[in-house]
Amino acid sequence: MKALRTLCLIFLAAPAWGQPVKKLGLREAFELATKQNLDLAAARERRAVSQAGVRIAGQLPNPTASFTALRDTPHEGLFFEQPLEIGGKRRRRIELARQETGLTDMEIEALTRQVRRRVREGFYAAASAGSVTQQRARALELAKRLREIAQARFAAGDVPQLEVFQADLEVSRAEADLEVARQREKTAFSQLNVLLNNPPETQWELVGSLEDLPPQIPLPELAQRAAESNPEYRHLLQEERVEQARQALLRAERIPNLNVQFGADFNSPRDFRVGPRSQLSLVLPLFTRNQGEIARSSASLRVLKSEAAATRRAVAGRVEAAYFELHARQTQVELYHSTLLPAARRLESLAEDSYRAGRANVLTVLDAQRNVQQVERDYLDSLRALQEAFAGLEETVGVPLD
């Protein structure tokens, strides 16, 4: 029976063995998302639709063939009619379609930046969850060590049993916190797998640390990059180019098409058996010459230019705000790393030594342990907030910053 139970445990553990832990760095995460993210894949499919629009715009009008059979003379006739576009209409249509394809490319690029931001945030959310799990494990070790000290002092008759109960309660609380942290870590990695379009059971070993700080870039350089690469601003500029191409097409359409007709009449007794025939026709642009459409296009262009100017200024403001937010987060991280965290750990160590020597009670040590745990959590939160601030700044600028 014992052997059967062992075999069952081995069988149940086999799937876990079949899933090796893979290493994943931030750059590898970006590359996987670029290749596999489903939102990006769906957006790229729209490019084929736009490119098909270019082919549609380049199509030539089909000729028309007609055959007549009459009782009057001539009894039969065969005619062909071919519309001829003049004034560069076809070229203008193709240019408009190409500019609309560029608009689709801008939208795909903007989505790529959004996915990059989500991947960065997801990567560091997983790293933060792993760090929280490690911090909870250290807290459990501290709690167990305090319980051992309390039990030794109780056995020596130095403290009442109440302090042992308090230490036991702290161990139970630390064990519960550790289990919650482990589940949250699994959730964070599951969300990262969704972004990377990997199976939920994929296990990662993150290469890098939450403490890997992003590069510091001067504000003028960031503002210059944003002026050239911000997705919103570039999208508006592309909309202007689309509207300019549309207006050029509307002006070209004011020139009427020429309809060329040629063929022959047949079977006209006493006159001819076959008689050639040709005809030219065009629409006279007397009343409608796209006046309204051109006026609307001109108004749309003025609106787009105003929006582009406003967006350029707003982007500069957002870059400046994001830069100062990032700078504040960097200052906060440095303060925790250099001052608050070492002081809290030193205080906890002194409290523990004092309790071991009988110069403090268990509540003092518990308070010091909880204080250091809170400072460590705040430090991890500040690190994650720093990475998120950098991700927001990068998306606003519109180009990778590391």
- pLDDT digit string (tens) for 216-261? 999 999 999 999 899 999 999 999 999 999 999 999 999 998 999 9
CB of 98 closer than 8 Å to CB of 263 = no
Where does residue 120 rank: exposed (0-12), middle (13-18), buried (19+ CB within 10 A)?
buried
C-alpha–C-alpha distance, residues 341 and 378, integer Å: 10
Q: Report angle CA 206, 211, 213 to the nearest 5 degrees.
A: 110
| 263-274: average pLDDT | 85
pLDDT of residue 19: 61
Domains of the chain: which residue ranges? 17-213+230-307
pLDDT of residue 4: 38
pLDDT bin (cut points 50, 70, 90) of residue 315 is very high
Q: Please name every residue paired with 77 in a beta bridge, in sequence order, or none if there are none.
A: 68, 265
- Listed residue (254, 293, 227, 249) closest to 98, CA to CA: 249
Task: Give me the CATH topology for the region 17-213+230-307.
Answer: Outer membrane efflux proteins (OEP) (1.20.1600)
- The residue with greater pLDDT, 396 or 71, is 396
Cβ count within 10 A of residue 61: 12
pLDDT digits (tens, 9 = 90+) for 21-56: 889 999 999 999 999 999 999 999 999 999 999 999
Query: Is residue 165's pLDDT more than 60?
Result: yes
Q: Please name every residue paired with 263 in a beta bridge, in sequence order, or none if there are none.
A: 79, 277
| 53-80: average pLDDT | 90
pLDDT digits (tens, 9 = 90+) for 107-116: 999 999 999 9
Q: Please name every residue paired with 81 in a beta bridge, in sequence order, or none if there are none.
A: 64, 261
| 149-154: average pLDDT | 92
Quickly list H helices, 18-88.
26-36, 38-57
Query: Is residue 317's pLDDT more than 50?
Result: yes
Query: Is residue 10's pLDDT more than 50?
Result: no
pLDDT of residue 180: 96
pLDDT of residue 367: 93
Query: Is residue 11's pLDDT more than 50?
Result: no
Query: Is residue 2's pLDDT more than 50?
Result: no
What does the mean pLDDT of the chain come to? 90
| 101-106: average pLDDT | 93
pLDDT digits (tens, 9 = 90+) for 333-372: 999 999 999 999 999 999 999 988 888 889 999 999 999 9
pLDDT digits (tens, 9 = 90+) for 183-216: 999 999 999 999 999 998 889 999 988 888 899 9
Query: Is residue 156's pLDDT more than 80?
Result: yes
- Listed residue (221, 192, 215, 223) closest to 205, CA to CA: 192
Contacts 24+ apart (CB under 8 A), 295-298: 297/243, 297/246, 297/247, 297/250, 298/247
